[in-house]
Structure 1
Amino acid sequence: MPDVLHDIHGTPVLVCAADGAPLRGERDATDLIGEAFHHGAAWVALPADRLSDDFFRLRTRVAGDVVQKFATYRLGLAVLGDISRHTDAGTALRDFVRESNRGRLLWFLPDLEALGERLAPAPAGG
C-alpha cells in the first residue's frame, strides 16, 4: 500500500503505509521528507512500527537527528500508534514524548483520528 496524501482540516498530510520502509535514521528521514514535499504535504503521519528501536532509545540520538531534519524543513511529524513498550522502559522517553506533544512539530498520537483532532481549527469566539 503506498503513502497517500490526505487533506485533514485543510492541512495536507502524507499518511504513510504501515508496510513501508523503516525509518532508521537521518538518511531515511531525508527520503521521507522528499516524498512529503513531492506530494505537497505539511505533515507526515508515520506508523510507530516503521521507526527503529534506536529511535526510541534517546541516547542513540536517532530521534534527535530525525526530528531536527523535519524541523529544518518545517515539516510536521506525527508518530501514530502504541509506543507504550518504549515509554514504559524509562522516564527520559516519556518526558520527550510529553514535551513533543506540547509543541507544534512532533506529536506522538494513538491514531489518525487523534491527529485530525489536533489539526482541527480552534473554535471561534471566546
Structure 2
Amino acid sequence: MQIFVDQQGDSKVAVIESSDIVIGDVQDALDLMASVRYTSGCDKILLDKSCVTEQFFDLKTKLAGEILQKYTNYHVKLAIVGDFDQYDSKSLRDFIYESNKGTQVFFLKDRQAALEALHRAGA
C-alpha cells in the first residue's frame, strides 16, 4: 500500500494506492485511518473500490454502516472511486445517492471528481 497526499491550500487528501484489499473489516478501516493520520496528517481518504471488500457493498452485512459510523465519529472523510452501476440493490443505490449529497462520504466514478469533493468538504 502506498499513500500519496494531494494538497490544495490547507486541504490534504490521502490517496491510497494498493493492488490488495485495504478494507476487509472494521478493524482494517480503523487501522487505515490511524495509519493515514500518523503518516500524512490527513483526515480525508480516497481509495479505489477494488481496495474495499465486496461485503461492504452488501448493506445486509452492515459492514458499510459500521465503518462509516467510525469514520464519522473520528471526523474522517472518505471517497471511494469506482463503477457502482454494477450493483442491482436499490438500497445501495439510494445509500450512495444520499451519501454523495453530504460532505462525509462519497462514491464517485473518477479520481478527479473524488478529490474535488473531498477538498470542497472542508476540514
Superposed CA RMSD in Å reads 1.6
Once the two structures are superposed, the pairs formed by residues 69-88 of structure 1 within 5 Å of their partners are 69-86=70-87
Counterparts in 2 of 1:120 and 1:16: CA distance versus 1, 3 Å: closer
Q: Distance in 2 between matches of 1:51 and 1:109?
A: 14
Q: Distance in 2 between matches of 1:64 and 1:119?
A: 20
**TM-score (normalizing by structure 1):** 0.86
Query: Post-superposition shift, 1:79?
Result: 0.4
Instruction: List per-residue Cα deviations over 1:18-58 (Å, max 9, x = no partner).
Output: 32443111100110110121111121001111111110000
Count residues with an aligned counterpart.
119
Of all paired residues, the percent bearing the same amino acid is 30
Q: Distance in 2 between matches of 1:57 and 1:93?
A: 8
Superposed structure 1 runs of 4+ greater than 6 Å apart: none
**TM-score (normalizing by structure 2):** 0.88
Q: Are the counterparts in 2 of residues 77 and 106 from structure 1 also a CA contact under 8 Å?
A: yes
Query: Post-superposition shift, 1:10?
Result: 3.4
Q: Distance in 2 between matches of 1:103 and 1:49?
A: 23
Counterparts in 2 of 1:92 and 1:9: CA distance versus 1, 3 Å: farther
Structure 1, unaligned runs of 5 or more = 122-126
Q: Are the counterparts in 2 of residues 9 and 116 from structure 1 also a CA contact under 8 Å?
A: no
Q: Are the counterparts in 1 of residues 77 and 104 from structure 2 also a CA contact under 8 Å?
A: yes
Partner of 1:124: none
Partner of 2:48: 47
Structure 2: which amino acid aligns with 1:108?
Answer: F
Structure 2: which amino acid aligns with 1:115?
Answer: A
Structure 2: which amino acid aligns with 1:66?
Answer: I
Partner of 1:30: 30
Query: Post-superposition shift, 1:118?
Result: 2.2
Q: Give the 3-state SS of the residue equivalent to 1:3 in structure 2.
A: strand
